[in-house]
Amino acid sequence: MKFRSVSNPVTSTPSGVTPPKRMSMRVAEWLLDSPRLGDSPSVKHLAGRLLKQPAREGVVAAQSRLGQLMCRECGNARDRRIGQDLLRQAARAGDDRARRALGEIED
């Protein structure tokens, strides 16, 4: 008797499905907003890495948070400049937090 290979729709993943893009952003925001975790440099680094892809894809909230993080926490001028560019993009899109942060930085 021959057995046919039948793909199980429960275990197989369709090729066109991508994981939720907002999940990494939610985790990053939770890490940064957590009172204990948000102060750790390694947690800030992880949150920055989680925010990078959504910010590249144009998610305004991710651009704003990553820009603020880079401007406040990075020691070199290149990262601060990139952070300011992200804040400018978010401010142009209408993000009030980014406008305020940009105003504080440029004053």
Amino acid letter, residue 102: L
Written as one letter, the residue type at 71 is: C
pLDDT of residue 85: 95
Task: Give the residue-averaged pLDDT of 72-101.
Answer: 92
DSSP assignment, residue 12?
S
Give the per-residue pLDDT at 99: 95
Taking a C-beta distance cutoff of 8 angstroms, is the pair 102, 88 a contact? yes
Q: What is the pTM of this model?
A: 0.76
Averaged pLDDT of the chain: 84
Give the pLDDT confidence of 6-53 residue by residue, as tens digits.
Answer: 555 555 555 555 555 668 889 999 999 998 888 899 999 999 999 999
Average pLDDT (46-70) is: 93
**How many H-runs (helices) and E-runs (strands) does the chain carry?**
5, 0
Q: Which residues of 58-97 are buried (b: 16+ CB within 10 A; e: fewer)?
A: ebbbbbbbbbbbbbeebeeeeebebbbebbbbbbeeebeb
